[in-house]
């Protein structure tokens, strides 16, 4: 999508969790392990090691969102 000009060259992927009573302790850590998101081809850091996309484990409800690099760098994106 970056090559096609749809996404800016600075686009980042942000790991997003659902903050409710079903959120597991493992997934709750992942946004903080990647506070400025990850570049489009870069894996996320997780307690399980690096993964390219959610899900991190069976029954995982996490997703990723694509945001501008500016928004990610400036902290303008909520992680949940």
Domain ranges of the chain: 12-73
Distance CA 56, CA 44 (A): 10
The torsion defined by the Cα of 10, 11, 13 and 18, in degrees rounded to 10, comes to: 120
Q: Give the number of other CB atoms < 10 A from CB of residue 20.
A: 8
The torsion defined by the Cα of 34, 40, 41 and 44, in degrees rounded to 10, comes to: 20
HSE, side-chain direction, 13 A CA sphere, residue 6: 4
What pLDDT score was predicted for residue 1?
43
Per-residue pLDDT of the chain (80 residues; tens, 9 = 90+): 445 456 788 899 999 999 999 999 999 999 999 998 999 999 999 999 999 999 999 999 999 999 876 655 666 555 44
Is pTM beyond 0.85? Reply is: no
């Amino acid at each position: 999508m970056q090559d096609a000009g749809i996404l800016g060259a600075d686009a980042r992927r942000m790991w997003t969790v659902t903050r409710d009573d079903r959120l597991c302790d493992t997934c709750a850590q992942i946004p903080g392990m990647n506070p400025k998101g990850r570049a489009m081809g870069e894996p996320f850091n997780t307690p399980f090691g690096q993964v390219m996309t959610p899900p991190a484990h069976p029954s995982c409800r996490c997703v990723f969102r694509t945001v501008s690099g500016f928004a990610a760098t400036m902290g303008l994106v909520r992680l949940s």
